[in-house]
Structure 1
Amino acid sequence: MTTEELYTLQYGQELVNNVWNSNKEACNFEYALEKYMNNQKTPHLNEHIETNNNITHHPNNTTHPVNGKHSTPEYKENHEDTTITQNQTKITRPCMNNLQESDKIRIFHQNIQSLSKEGKIPKLELSGNQQNFDFICLTEHWQKKENIEKLAIENYSLIDSYCRIPKKQTNNIAYGGAAIYCKNEIRNKCSVIQIEKEILHPKTFECIGTKFTSGKDKVNIFCVYKNPTSSTKTFLKSLCALLEKQTHQNQKIVICGDINIDFIGKEDDYYQLTDVLESYSLENKVTESTRRSSGLDYIITSKEERNTYAKVTEDQMTDHHGQYIDIAIKKPNRTQRIQEKKTIRIYKEENHNKMTELLYQHNWKDTITQIEKEDTETATKTFVTILLEYFNKAYPTKKITPKHKKKNIEWITDEIIQQGIELREIHRAIKYDNETQLEEIYKDLKQKHYKTITTRKREYIQTKLKNSKNKNKNMWESFHSLTGKNKLEPDIIIKHENELIRHPKKLTELFAEYFIQSTIEKIEQSWIHKKEYETQQLQQQQQTQ
């Protein structure tokens, strides 16, 4: 159910029509609703809501009472096209919701306040799985460099991190910090952006960046943290230096993070920041509060991204809400898609049988007779040539297009998903009806939710190890998955047919294929050279005679 359908069911079609009519240029209902509520008097809206809340016996009403009041109907995230009907004509509004998955990347930011705290990583894994984030940007991870590299988010790879050095070596908490993760399947499209040390300042400007490349499209993504007590002047100076070096005409830029400059309160430091962004044609896309009634977390992009708006999540992992944005990218053209195909050999039972049959049918007596007359080098070449000929027939090469399948997280159960839905419903009710009792219920359910996802993940790993036939192998796989060891940068990276090969097994296959083909070429060349040599010798003998 979309938000528009939800409000139609709960508050009536009249309110929904008023929302659209007052904001005809809005790209989606959520944005139109936000503007409408800001422009309308609160009592008028509350009267409308209260009137419709009295309708509880309608057969389509799915609201459930919470402490004598009715909570918001069951709601599921829906990213389908936002449509309205006027005069029996279906109109699709042009916005990011209309883009297909392959036409956009989704960037998420969260002030996490200790990544190592129990429940934080499973919650990020759950959100990433449900919301399909391509990038997860974290501020205030509170980790030292050697620690954050051991904390893995399932299905994601750590690209880079900024970590403070603790004042005391005995301290295990570094506070502050920034980190960027990306989906495993797009890791080979991401590279680290080196930021000059002169720009970076602990507490004031903690920043890391990555460049995402898709076809001709390039997106520079930065994650920034600024301590609330740090100097705004120094922060803006570093921001200007970063933008001066990293803004390019043909590259998009996204800056997200906890900047601790209130864009809702709008004090002097906010206008100073706005002036800097204006000079680079940038603007903040977050319009809702991200920490209580303050707007401290930003997602900054180009002003040219007119139909792009950041959304604030209702999964409150800390005292800050997360935010995410969809950035449009172009699909690779047909030529580029063809280049992304890779060559493989087929190793199935039928191929093994074919190889056996070819070797069995070969007349080895004649081969042995021939080899006995030749010197060692020539005999070896003869034998290898026969084997390679049969090998290529039995195990032919094939061009395929790599497919990246979404890896589901198996410990995410229906119970966990339902708990998340209930939490969002209650949080949505709190936003429009500040009741202490509802807040207490929300805090209690949130604590239980964190405990549930942590317990389920732990039980899943324990059950997997217990039921495994190869316990030693699965134990190390689980260890590597939890500590991120399997996501470390490999020693060798080879670009082959427009694809970066990182996986050790794929690298081995690539080397094996190279040596097979190079051996064939060398044998062919040696025979050519031999014939040329014999021809020259024969010509010399004829001239001598």
Structure 2
Amino acid sequence: MVLCGDININYLSDNDKKKKLDLLLASYNLVSTVNFPTRSQNGSATAIDNIFIDASLQSNYVIYPLLNGLSDHDAQLIILSEVKTHTKNGRVKGKKMIRKIELAMIQDFEYKLSLETWDSVFGSNDINLMYNSFLSSFLRIFYSSFPLKVLSTRTNSNLWITPGISNSCKHKRDLYLIYRSSNDEAFKRYYRQYCKILKNVIREAKKKHYSRQISKSSNKIRTIWNITKSVTGKFAKVNSVQELKVDGRITKNRQYIADFLNSFFISVAENNINKSLETNNKPLDYLWQAFDHPFPSIKYQAATSTEIFKIIKSLTTKK
């Protein structure tokens, strides 16, 4: 486990808050790793951003500041050695296994537990056999309600970043180190102008990259929507029914809701047909109900081909 964030406690000085936090995290075998300033402003330096790890499992690590030039807080980069990620069938390159836990799955887990009789647990007098039987039944239900899923890691979506932009961003970070401690107004103007130019270059690079994607796509509308979603970070949300009102009562039982909806949609067509047969109304009857008076007569006026030609010529195309 890795715990990180802006904890707002300066680890460059000894204070009561630091000691209390260290004692609390030590109970979880977590220790701090940052021993250098993470925030510099007006000549003062503090280490209020930190990363805590389990040193007993990850004793071999390297950590150093990552100057991003985005704020007065510097980022921290920690490299953990010998980190092993195992899956059910061994290690999978570019993928990892996760066990998703959602409200619907929790309700399914509780429902299956309520159906378990535990006869194999209470039918024995051996405490070890009882425990093993309980654990086996519990894990069987747990694994069925919360199955492992393969999660593919994200590919690099910032394909618009060219080597030139990467070098310019690196140079901007170097300039930022001088900028935040400099009182030279001329240099500060130069830094702000450099940031403005770099921002325009990045915007133009993105525009060209997305234009190439759209022009090469066979389905341009879908590509435009995918680009819009990736840029805004707004993806389609999956909404699931958490509760349903059935016969005047609200139920949260997922199995009962599924059975009720299946039964409803299977019989809805037949019920509608039966209702329509009961009325036995002709389609024209509905039209007579809506219009109880005759329609006004349509009067045509004569027009020559010359008049029609002039009307067409007067129409202008949209620019």
TM-score norm. by structure 1 comes to 0.28
Q: Normalised by the size of structure 2, how large is the TM-score?
A: 0.45
Instruction: Flag the structure with more relative contact order, 1 or 2, with Cα contacts below 8 A and sequence separation at least 6.
Output: 1
